[in-house]
Amino acid sequence: MLSDIRPCKLAGNCYFVGTYKASSHMIDTGDGLILIDVGYRETADVVIDSLSILGYDVKDVKIILLSHGHGDHSDGVPGIVARSGAKVYMFEQDNRYLKGFLPDVYLHDGDVIKLGNTEILCLHTPGHTEGTASYFFYTEENGKKLRVGTYGGAGHKQVMKPFLDKYGLTYLQRGMFYRSIERLRGEHVDVFMGNHSWHNKTREKSEMIAAGCEGNPFIDETLWGKFLDATEAHLDKVIADETVSEFVTYAHRGASEYCPENTMLSFYTGVYMGANGIETDVRRTKDGVLVLFHDKTPERVCGEGLTREISDYTWEELRELNVVKGELSDKIIRFDDFLEHFAHRDLTFAIELKAAGIEGEVAELIRKYDMVKKAVVTSFQIDYIRNIKAYAPELRVGLLTKEINDETVADLVAMRADEYCPQAKYVTKEQVTRLHREGFRVRAWGVTNEELMRNAVDCGCDGMTVNFPDKLVAYRKERVTKA
Ligand SMILES: [Zn+2]
């Protein structure tokens, strides 16, 4: 089968043997061939035929290096291995994507693969996937030593919210992506080997060579830096776009500016006003019932003198109380009643842990109501979210905190928290950008007035909890209209 890109030499002992959609490169080491990526299952024969057009035999392939586990780079492996007996190398983190085989050798960052006259440096450059690998080696052409390099995965779709949510991946992969780009800037590359043919215009250059152009169009030491710049700029853009398209307006304890907080009335009003998220607080009664209540005691919202702590009330006793806001009142509700009414809705839920020891129960209810992908569990207590993450690693968690500092960032990265929640009055554009570059979603809290609300939107937060969701919805509409 003929490829839609004419097989050609990239430089020295390195050749293109892939297709337009899926690059595949071969290195002739003098003691066997190395393939970097093999493309789709259906195009394994194209790779084999491209090798023979160049005068090589697939039987001589000894090593297959995979840039990452996605099918467009790896599905052809069984077809090539069956004909060659080649050993497959990849980072273990990408096993989840492979179909019908596992690697023979797992790579480690900084490994050097030696075969014949070639030594390939393998760097772990996660972002596009958890186990993306980038490869570098020297070749020689016309007596000149040239460094060939490939960036093993630069596509952004895989770090956008719909994809991360669908596959239960952490937002922190965005942070890894940025760090990988930064690290790759330190590599010198004379010949940029595209992981997809459009990265380095393989087809055009192959045609130029076939037409007998002067010099080698693949040798261009500026291309690598330009590609990294473009990749970074694109990443910035998709994240910035998402702060608009995926923004979450959380009705904070419901529409609590207008209704008795954390009640059905308040939650329904928030949804009616256009909130696409609900924030609420969970505590436990003396007899072990999880209820939605913010304060330690009912006094502020249920009436003076009610100074016993919620944890000293039974559920029967709490049911007797009324939560009041102006002329309105409603009942305290159980967490499971809330879930019964709201979990099925297309909303995002911010569930704040207000007491120790309830992490396991809260996690179980989130699982039971099938809302793992639409809930974020938060707390001001870093231990609570650490506990729930240990209990249910698949849950997204976030820390409510005042300011943004290095220590907290490091703690949250270490526990794989997805959300950083600074107090609205400390939110600046620089800080939000910095948190995005670490990989966090940024959600502001303590939005006590409209000025803070507008500032948090303008600074690029991904969402905020607000007592007056109607005003936030209106402001965001107005912004879109203006833009
Ligand atoms: Zn991929």
**Tokens matching residue 43:** 């195009």
Q: Are residues 204 and 272 in the same domain?
A: no
Q: Do residue 367 and residue 430 come from a single domain?
A: yes
**pLDDT (0 to 100) of residue 2:** 86
User: What's the CA-to-centroid distance between 128 and ligand 1, angstroms?
Assistant: 7
In the prediction, which pLDDT does 373 show? 94
On the question of pLDDT at 480 being above 90, the answer is no
pLDDT at 3 over 90: no
CA of 129 to the centre of ligand 1 (A): 7
Handedness of CA 114, 115, 119, 124 (dihedral sign): negative
Q: Indicate whether 229 and 310 sit together in one domain.
A: no
Could you tell me the distance, in angstroms and rounded to a whole number, from the CA of residue 97 to the centre of ligand 1?
A: 10
Q: Any residues with CB less than 8 A from the CB of 277 and at least 6 apart, and which?
A: 248, 249, 250, 251, 347, 348, 349, 350, 463
- Write down which residue in 239, 258, 279 finishes a domain: 239
User: Distance, CA 127 to ligand 1 centroid (Å)?
Assistant: 10
Distance 152 CA to ligand 1 centre (A): 8
* Same domain for 279 and 229: no
Q: Is the residue at 98 inside a domain? A: yes
Q: How far apart are CA 290 and CA 361, in angstroms?
A: 8
pLDDT of residue 352 exceeding 90: yes
Same domain, yes or no, for 221 and 266? no
Domain CATH for 170: 3.60.15.10
Residue 55 Cα to ligand 1 midpoint, Å, equals 30
What separation in Å is there between the alpha carbon of 312 and the centre of ligand 1?
54
Cα 157 to ligand 1 centre (Å): 9
- 221 half-sphere exposure, CB direction, 13 A CA radius: 7
Across residues 140-164, what is the average pLDDT? 94
Q: What separation in Å is there between the alpha carbon of 17 and the centre of ligand 1?
A: 18
In a domain, 1, yes or no: no
Q: Where residue 403 falls among pLDDT bands split at 50, 70, 90?
A: confident
User: Does residue 52 lie within any of the structural domains?
Assistant: yes
| Alpha carbon of 66 to ligand 1 centroid (Å) | 11
- Cα-to-centroid distance, 118 and ligand 1 (Å): 26
Distance 48 CA to ligand 1 centre (A): 22
For residue 113, being part of any structural domain is answered with yes
For position 481, what pLDDT does the model report? 80
- DSSP string computed for 445-466: B---SHHHHHHHHHTT-SEEEE
In whole numbers, what is the pLDDT of the chain averaged over residues?
A: 96
Q: Are residue 289 and residue 205 in the same domain, yes or no? A: no
Asked whether residue 193 carries a pLDDT value surpassing 80, the answer given is yes
Ligand 1 center–CA 247 separation, angstroms: 26
What pLDDT, on a 0 to 100 scale, did the predictor assign at position 482? 77
- Same domain as 259, residue 230: no
46: CA distance to ligand 1 center in Å? 20
pLDDT value at residue 326: 95
Return the structure tokens found at 477. 């509409």
Q: Is 371 inside a domain boundary?
A: yes
User: For the chain, how many structural domains are there in total?
Assistant: 2
Residues 106, 196, single domain; the answer is: yes
Give residue-wise pLDDT tens across range 160-175. Answer: 999 998 888 999 999 9
Residues 266 and 340 in one domain: yes
Rounded to whole angstroms, the Cα distance separating 148 from 26 reads: 12
Q: What is the pLDDT of residue 262?
A: 98
Q: What is the mean pLDDT of residues 334-351?
A: 98
Q: How far is the CA of 155 from the centre of ligand 1 (A)?
A: 7
CA of 68 to the centre of ligand 1 (A): 7
Residue 20 lies in a domain: yes
Distance 193 CA to ligand 1 centre (A): 16
Q: Which two tokens stand for residue 427?
A: 């939110």
Tens-place pLDDT, residues 119-135: 999 999 999 999 999 99
Domain that holds residue 92: 8-239
Spatial contact of 200 and 218, defined as CB atoms under 8 Å apart: yes
Distances (CA, A) of 255 to 269, 277, 421: 6, 11, 20
Could you tell me if residue 2 is inside a domain?
A: no
Q: How far does residue 126's CA lie from ligand 1's centre (Å)?
A: 11
Q: In this predicted model, what pLDDT tens digit does every residue of 248-276 receive, in sequence order?
A: 999 999 999 999 999 999 999 999 999 99
User: H-helix or E-strand containing 177?
Assistant: helix 172-184
- Going from the Cα of 71 to the center of ligand 1, the distance in angstroms, rounded, reads 7
Do 206 and 327 belong together in one domain?
Answer: no
pLDDT value for 479: 87
Q: Which of 239, 256, 285 is the last residue of a domain?
A: 239
DSSP state of 306: -
Question: How do residues 208-242 score in pLDDT, each as one tens digit?
Answer: 999 999 999 999 999 999 999 999 999 999 999 99
* Band of residue 357 on the pLDDT scale cut at 50, 70, 90: very high
* Tens of pLDDT, residues 51-108: 999 999 999 999 999 999 999 999 999 999 999 999 999 999 999 999 999 999 999 9
CA of 153 to the centre of ligand 1 (A): 6
184 shares a domain with 323 = no
275 and 207 co-located in one domain: no
Percent helix, percent strand, percent coil in the chain, to nearest 5: 40, 25, 40
Question: Is 328 domain-assigned?
Answer: yes
Integer Cα distance of 310 and 289 in angstroms: 11
Report angle CA 440, 231, 17 to the nearest 5 degrees.
125
Looking at 188, 214, 239, the residue that finishes a domain is 239
pLDDT for 138 beyond 90: yes
Percent of the chain residues topping a pLDDT of 90:
97
CATH code of 261's domain: 3.20.20.190
* For residue 463, pLDDT beyond 80: yes
